[in-house]
Structure 1
Amino acid sequence: MTIAAIVKPDWISWDSKTSTGTTIRYTYGLHRRCSSLTGTCDHFPQYEDCHGPGRAFCSLWRSVGFLMNFSAVIEFATLVAFAVILFGGQQKRATGWKVLGPLLGLVGLAEVAGMGIVAYLYNHDDRFFPGWRLDTSWILCTVSWSLLVLDAVGIVSAAFFVPSEGDYELIPDRR
């Protein structure tokens, strides 16, 4: 979901019908802005968006892009850690939650921050007049961080409340 939210240019969108019944649609993604009038997607934010009175918008929007890309990288690290913990034996499973829980929490926190910044810009930036709406990518981000946080809570809770796999101690190596 995180990668789809990053790639899909549908964080904030605007739709309107013309008198002829044609639908005009503008969408903002983290790295592209699309228009149904031109049928193209342009790099976003552009130079003009980042100079003058709109500098704050540009900085915040780019911060969301960074946070979401950072989240995707940490999610990959989390998947690797999860595989190592699952296939690493009883000892790795017994202690792996200490790595996995914080990683999931970190990704969730970064995504919450990105989602919150987009919601703030949607509510406070003048370019988003009535008729604009938070769209599919924003929803994907919201669902993603919600599931990540639930996973983190579930894994940490299981570590405390589920009995251990076996009640034996490891035999020390004779080296």
Structure 2
Amino acid sequence: MADFSLVPSGHGSNYTGMLTRSIVFSVALFVFLAASGMTIASIIVPNWIAFDGSTSHGDPVHYTYGLHRRCSSTNIPPSFDSRSTSSNVMADSLQCVHMWRSVGFLMSFAVVLEGMTIAAFAILLVGGKQKREQGWGVLTILVALAAFVQAIGMALMAYLYENDERFFSGWFLDKSWTMCTISWSFQAVCAIAITLAAVVLPSEGGYELIPDHA
């Protein structure tokens, strides 16, 4: 009768090293959660494009534009979606208004994708080795798609800043734009790390049965 013994598998189909797919996926999840928090903050905080200057009397003036409202050091005008939008800074350019609203839509869509991605992370981490081996491709696509959508929104805002005549000297891309940039960059790194872990690291496992042919 063949005799079997349990031995640590360092060279077989199961991997028992310090760095496993579950560890990489867990770290990627924490990084992705931080990136998602920055995505939400960039939507809430009205600081995509800002201006620091002074009036003709020398009084300091500070303006900030968010995705849905504009703020200043003296007042808070209505949101871009209200009927009074035509009296705001974006009113004389429908193309600018449409692009601005497109950025808002893209960022909201990114949050939806991030929610789906977090659910996918949870399923793969709780589901065990087999789910991680079979589902990492879908997870990578979701992470990459969330990063791509945000990158488009960031690029559109940068295009408006560089090309719209309203944003003259004194205007600058502010904190919300920076948070969006960091967010999609972190998510892109997560997608790369997940792919490398799935392709490079061997299959997870603690021990396997090795037949003794002696």
**How big is the shift at 1:23?**
2.7
Change in 2 beyond 3 A, CA 1:150/1:51 = closer
CA contact (8 A) 1:10 1:28 kept: yes
For the 8 Å contact 1:50–1:59, the answer to whether it is kept is no
**Normalising by the residue count of structure 2, what TM-score does the alignment of the two structures yield?**
0.72
1:88 corresponds to: 127
2:110–2:150: 8 Å Cα contact kept in structure 1?
Answer: yes
* Cα 1:19–1:60 shift into 2, 3 Å: closer
Aligned partner of 2:198 among 151, 159, 170 = 159
**Residues 97-146 of structure 1: per-residue CA shift (max 9 Å, x gap):** 11110001101110010000000000000111111000000000000000
TM alignment of 1:115-154, pairs within 5 A: 115-154=154-193
Rounded Cα–Cα distance in structure 2 between residues aligned with 1:33 and 1:51: 11
Residue 26 of structure 1: SS of its match in structure 2? Answer: strand
Q: Could you say which residue in structure 1 is the equivalent of 2:68?
A: 31
Aligned-pair distance for 1:18?
4.8
Mapping of residues 1-175 of structure 1, within 5 Å: 1-18=38-55, 22-38=59-75, 40-44=76-80, 46=82, 47-48=85-86, 53-166=92-205
Seen in structure 2, the aligned counterparts of structure 1 residues 58 and 162 have a Cα distance that, compared at 3 Å, is same
Tell me how many residue pairs correspond in the alignment.
Answer: 167
TM-score, normalization: structure 1? 0.88
**Residue of structure 2 equivalent to 1:171:** none
Secondary structure at 1:43 match in 2: coil
Amino acid at match of 1:120: Y
For structure 2, the residue ranges without an aligned partner over 5 or more in a row are: 1-37, 209-214
Kept in 1: contact 2:48–2:177 (CA 8 A): yes
- Give the CA deviation at 1:42: 2.5
Measure the CA separation in 1 of the matches of 2:46 and 2:111: 16
Q: Which has the larger radius of gyration?
A: 2
Between the aligned partners of 1:26 and 1:53, the Cα distance in structure 2 is: 19
